[in-house]
Amino acid sequence: MSIVADHSGALAPTWLLARPKRIAILCVAVLAGAGWAALGLMLADTSLFSALCRPSAGDPGAAQAGLVFAMWCAMALAMMLPTAAPMILTYAEIAETAAEKGEPAASPLVLAAGYVAVWFGAAMLLTVLQLFLMRVSLLDPMAAASPLFSGAVFIAAGVYQFSALKHACLTQCQHPFRFFFANWTAEPHGVFGLGMRQGLYCLGCCWAMMLLMFAVGVMNVVWMAALGAVMTIEKINTTTRFSRVLGIVFILVGAALILTSVMAHWPARAG
């Protein structure tokens, strides 16, 4: 394999510089596949599964916290990285055009690393939240939470779909070319920063839907796949119409869950 020096003087394999689109596709496929594989192993291993799903008698130890963090990192790769594929491919197309002109461009791997770093940071916060919810018996990672709690989460996610912050972040996710055109840089550290910025836009767009996993069962792979697909479709769209429809659906589902719970506990009328 030939090695060349990039614009900063660092050595890099030629194929990393000459085929950005192929590298981008391979990156998303391998990392997302690794995420799903890790989740599958966690579900298959009874000892790991028990550690993930059973709250400890006292404060959660470092081992349990580490496993929960690893689970959320795997979920970030499996659910969120595919939603970023259009953004990463857009960068790769620009980088490939630059490479064909003999201009420097950092590898899409650098951009993906910045994006993933943001979601791994979010995984730390989600880990703390999960351990707390398990400690107070509001959460069973395999089963849906109580109807009242689940309903509240769905309604909160639905309301957020109509917020200005949601729409601002979603717009940035839906138009990556405009973002890269305005902020283009060939420096690897700058591209890593662009990946982080896109990760923050994605987090601002999708955090409420990720919280729905607490309502439906954190280890529910069917919901993981469904929500991942929904978030991908949302980003592919060029308007906020789909997001508003989702908001209405989430609110209706949440209201139905709460109403069902209230009716189930409503005292029966005598006679």
Instruction: Note down pLDDT in tens along the chain; length 271 residues.
Output: 333 444 444 444 544 455 889 999 999 999 999 999 999 998 887 666 666 666 555 566 788 889 899 999 999 999 999 999 999 999 999 999 988 888 888 999 999 999 999 999 999 999 999 888 888 877 766 656 788 999 999 999 999 999 999 999 999 999 999 999 999 999 999 999 999 999 999 999 999 999 999 999 888 899 999 999 999 999 999 888 999 999 999 999 999 999 988 887 776 554 4
Helix (H, G, I), strand (E, B) or coil at 143: strand
CB 131 within 8 A of CB 62: no
Which residue pairs, CB below 8 angstroms and at least 24 apart, start in 259-266? 260/147, 261/146, 261/147, 261/148, 261/151, 264/147
Q: E strands of the chain, at which residues?
A: 3-5, 11-13
Q: How many CA atoms lie within 13 A of 139 on its CB side?
A: 27
Structure token pair of residue 164: 């200005």
Structure token pair of residue 267: 């005292």
**pTM > 0.95: yes or no:** no
* Cβ neighbourhood burial of 49 (10 Å; 0-12, 13-18, 19+): middle
Amino acid 222: pLDDT:
93
Q: Find residue 4's DSSP bridge partners.
A: 12
Amino acid 61: pLDDT:
74
Q: Find residue 5's DSSP bridge partners.
A: 11
CA 222 to the chain's CA centroid: 15
CB 55 within 8 A of CB 136: no
